[in-house]
Amino acid sequence: MTGQAVIGGIGHTAFGRLPERTAFDLEVEAARRTLEDAGLEPQDVDGLITDPGPSQGILDGITPHYLALGHYLGLDPSYTGSDILGGASSAAIVQRAVLAIEAGLCSVCLCVYGDSALSSPGSFGYGRGDDAAFGLFGAVGIHALAARRHMHLWGTREEHLAAVAIAARAHAARTPHAQKRDLLTLDEYLAADSIVEPLKRPDCCLVSDGAAAVLVVAAERAADLRHKPTRILGHGQASSLSTWSSLEHFDELPAARCGPETFARAGISAADVDVAMLYDCFTIVVLMQLEDYGFCGKGEAGAFVTEGRIGPGGELPVNTSGGLLAECYGGGMMHVIEAVRQLRGTAGDRQLDTPEIALVTGHGLGMNTHSTLILAN
Amino acid sequence: MSSKDQQTYPLPELSAFTRPFWEGCQNKELKIAVCGQCSHRFMPGVPNCPKCWSADFSLQAVSGRGEVFSFAVYRRTYHPAIPAPYVVALIQLEEGPRLVSNIVECAFEKIHIGMQLEVCFQEEDGFMLPRFRPLETPPVDTN
């Protein structure tokens, strides 16, 4: 099932506050950089799948995102579409590209995330349907409820959440393009403003303008690529759409199904993972994924992260470019790109010592969606 | 939610699925749905039983008692009509289903998971919302 598609190109724009740039302008730049990295030409692209990001989705009430972007890129692909799985979308569109290539529907599939979320204010603070009547706004409220559950069930403390934020900033300090390159101390964390208790500002991801793309290519075209291709050992998805009515919804993520199932299909276990790019919209999600993927037992993630395991030099480096918490909000595509860089050995000052297997995850909406990629050099 | 007027309280938009629940609230009655096929109890607002997909269900008024499943204290204002600080909570009703609401009439530092609550109806722009406050005479706390 796997082995027929590889990642052959990566590219991204600057991230941060870029008010003079539209999301499409950024996405076109990311697409161009990705083709340059791959050494391929626009006419080689016969697949386009997009992750429109939190502030785009359906445009003008009728135009789907892939149609607008495909128009700007002048593409007439054999296979196209957009996925709207929130933060699980980026890994999910790479998965969809793999499936399309394995099915023979296309052979060079461009997967693009982009958004101008920072310059489109309010896009992260949306009301959650009728629950907005009770003040439930933004993804932060839902994750605060999950964090409180974790604290109640497992004795998790704010120092444990802080350890995730501190590790992210330590990684980002070695990442030239990261938005937050200054280190964070525990005292600074504890003194930070609460947004929605128990989550403080450093528990929350950045908001960014920017775009990122990867090129998924049929393995038989690997000889045409400029870089050694990154193999895709496995991919998965799991969702919890029943939301409030699911008794487990706040106590574990769909990752608890997606992770072990994807590991099994790839023929690996958590112990084989050299570096993990865990979707980190909020610190609590990193703790929950460490447990749900089996890197530690249920309830043990707090202790796991405070022992320095996920920071630079740790036994399981997590989000070596700083992730959503410190690098940028790159949808989840920047997690894919960082995994490719580490596996290629082109991660600069933050390069790990010859990692062979990288885990990439995506997590979205009201903790509803989850996606997994397992990449290898 | 409507964003027509950011100053207006963000009330629920009544649909065919949600109207019976909210009409109950206007009469100060909190209702859950009970499936006629499999007896599953769930929050109204969906067209069929989420367990067995039967459309044969009825709404029943409940005790209004429940407990805190989780809670979050908003320190940042997201909507001008709902100024921070306020508490959003997941309430586990005595009868089983879970819903999102607010905890009111209680100091934030006293709120804890498992705390016993009862529903109280509060008006926003002429519309009754079911919120929860500490149960008047709480049973013996076994924590």
Beta bridge partners of A59: A63
Distance from CA of B91 to the nearest CA of A (A): 10
Share of chain A above pLDDT 70, in %: 95
- What is the spatial distance between Cα A47 and Cα A215, in angstroms, rounded to a whole number? 9
Q: pLDDT tens digits, residue range A291-329?
A: 999 999 999 999 999 988 999 999 999 999 999 999 999
Please indicate, yes or no, whether residues A142 and A110 belong to a single structural domain of this protein: no
Residue A60 contacts B where some CB pair is shorter than 8 Å = no
Query: How many residues comprise chain B?
Result: 143
CA A304: distance to chain centroid? 22
**pLDDT value, residue A2:** 45
* pTM summary value: 0.95
Please indicate, yes or no, whether residues B56 and B67 belong to a single structural domain of this protein: no
Residue B128 binned pLDDT confidence (cut-offs 50, 70, 90): very high
**pLDDT value, residue B138:** 55
A294: its two tokens: 């089996």
CATH number at residue B85: 2.40.50.840
Cβ(A198)–Cβ(A161) under 8 Å? yes
What is the rounded average pLDDT of the residues A208-235? Answer: 96
Beta bridge partners of A238: A370
What is the rounded average pLDDT of the residues B66-77? Answer: 97
What is the rounded average pLDDT of the residues B99-112? Answer: 97
Cβ(A190)–Cβ(A199) under 8 Å? no
What is the rounded average pLDDT of the residues A283-296? Answer: 98
Judged by CB atoms closer than 8 Å, whether chains meet at B12 and A135 is answered as no
Residues of B within 8 A of A139 (CB-CB) are none
Sign of torsion, CA A279 A283 A285 A291? positive
Strands B86-93 vs B57-61: parallel, antiparallel or unpaired: unpaired
| Residue where a domain stops, chosen among B6, B35, B61 | B61
Query: Is B8 inside any structural domain?
Result: no
Q: Decide if A79 is catalytic.
A: no
What is the rounded average pLDDT of the residues A331-351? Answer: 97
Residues of A within 8 A of B102 (CB-CB) are 134-135
Q: pLDDT tens digits, residue range A121-180?
A: 656 677 778 899 999 998 999 999 999 999 999 999 999 999 999 999 999 999 999 999
Listed in sequence order, the residues at least 6 apart from B132 whose beta carbon sits closer than 8 Å to its beta carbon are B66, B89, B91, B101, B102, B103, B104, B117, B118, B119, B120
**pLDDT value, residue B127:** 97
**Residue B21 pLDDT more than 70?**
yes
Domain span at residue A101 reads 5-120+208-231
Please indicate, yes or no, whether residues B96 and B36 belong to a single structural domain of this protein: no
Listed in sequence order, the residues at least 6 apart from A43 whose beta carbon sits closer than 8 Å to its beta carbon are none
B143: its two tokens: 């924590």
**pLDDT value, residue A1:** 41
**pLDDT value, residue A63:** 80
Please indicate, yes or no, whether residues B35 and B72 belong to a single structural domain of this protein: no
Q: pLDDT tens digits, residue range B22-41?
A: 999 999 999 999 999 999 99
Query: Is A132 inside any structural domain?
Result: no
Beta bridge partners of A10: A214
Q: pLDDT tens digits, residue range A258-270?
A: 999 999 999 999 9
Listed in sequence order, the residues at least 6 apart from A172 whose beta carbon sits closer than 8 Å to its beta carbon are A178, A179, A180, A181, A321, A322, A323, A325, A326, A327
- What is the spatial distance between Cα A334 and Cα A218, in angstroms, rounded to a whole number? 22
Cβ(B92)–Cβ(B64) under 8 Å? no
Is there a cis peptide before residue B80, judged by omega within 30 degrees of 0?
A: no
Total domains in the fold of chain A: 2
CB pairs under 8 A between A and B: 90
Judged by CB atoms closer than 8 Å, whether chains meet at B11 and A197 is answered as no
Please indicate, yes or no, whether residues B55 and B80 belong to a single structural domain of this protein: no
Q: pLDDT tens digits, residue range A364-374?
A: 988 999 999 99
Is there a cis peptide before residue B85, judged by omega within 30 degrees of 0?
A: yes
Please indicate, yes or no, whether residues B85 and B121 belong to a single structural domain of this protein: yes
Q: pLDDT tens digits, residue range A61-72?
A: 678 899 999 999
**Residue B3 pLDDT more than 60?**
no
Residue B140 binned pLDDT confidence (cut-offs 50, 70, 90): low
Q: Which of B70, B111, B122 to mutate to test the interface with A (most CBs of A within 10 A)?
A: B70
Please indicate, yes or no, whether residues B67 and B130 belong to a single structural domain of this protein: yes
The mean predicted confidence, pLDDT, of chain B is 92
Residue A201 contacts B where some CB pair is shorter than 8 Å = no
**Residue A283 pLDDT more than 80?**
yes
- What is the spatial distance between Cα A211 and Cα A199, in angstroms, rounded to a whole number? 27
Cβ(A368)–Cβ(A95) under 8 Å? no
- What is the spatial distance between Cα A156 and Cα A152, in angstroms, rounded to a whole number? 7
Please indicate, yes or no, whether residues B53 and B72 belong to a single structural domain of this protein: no
**pLDDT value, residue A61:** 64
Higher-pLDDT residue of B81 and A55 is B81
CA distances in angstroms from B34 to B37, B50, B54, B97, listed in the order given: 9, 11, 11, 10
Total domains in the fold of chain B: 2
The mean predicted confidence, pLDDT, of chain A is 94
Distance from CA of B67 to the nearest CA of A (A): 14
CATH number at residue A315: 3.40.47.10
Cβ(A284)–Cβ(A151) under 8 Å? no
**pLDDT value, residue A375:** 98
Q: Which of A120, A124, A126, A130 to mutate to test the interface with B (most CBs of B within 10 A)?
A: A130
CB-facing half-sphere around the CA of A237: CA atoms within 13 A: 19
Give this complex's ipTM.
0.93
Distance from CA of B71 to the nearest CA of A (A): 5
Please indicate, yes or no, whether residues A225 and A361 belong to a single structural domain of this protein: no
What is the rounded average pLDDT of the residues A318-347? Answer: 98
- What is the spatial distance between Cα B18 and Cα B12, in angstroms, rounded to a whole number? 9
Residues of B within 8 A of A131 (CB-CB) are 100
Please indicate, yes or no, whether residues A354 and A215 belong to a single structural domain of this protein: no
Query: Is A306 inside any structural domain?
Result: yes
**pLDDT value, residue A261:** 98
**Residue B4 pLDDT more than 80?**
no
- What is the spatial distance between Cα A251 and Cα A245, in angstroms, rounded to a whole number? 13
Query: Is B4 inside any structural domain?
Result: no
Please indicate, yes or no, whether residues B88 and B39 belong to a single structural domain of this protein: no
Domain span at residue B44 reads 14-61
A88: amino acid identity, one letter: A
**Exactly one of A79, A189, A279, A293 is catalytic; which is it?**
A279
* H-only helix segments in A103-137: none
Share of chain B above pLDDT 70, in %: 91
- What is the spatial distance between Cα A341 and Cα A232, in angstroms, rounded to a whole number? 14
Residue bearing tokens 């629920």: B12
Q: Decide if A113 is catalytic.
A: no
Query: Is B72 inside any structural domain?
Result: yes
Q: pLDDT tens digits, residue range A46-98?
A: 999 999 887 766 555 678 899 999 999 999 999 999 999 999 999 999 999 99
**Residue B143 pLDDT more than 90?**
no
Listed in sequence order, the residues at least 6 apart from A168 whose beta carbon sits closer than 8 Å to its beta carbon are A280, A319, A322, A323, A325, A326, A327
Distance from CA of A200 to the nearest CA of B (A): 10
Query: Is A46 inside any structural domain?
Result: yes
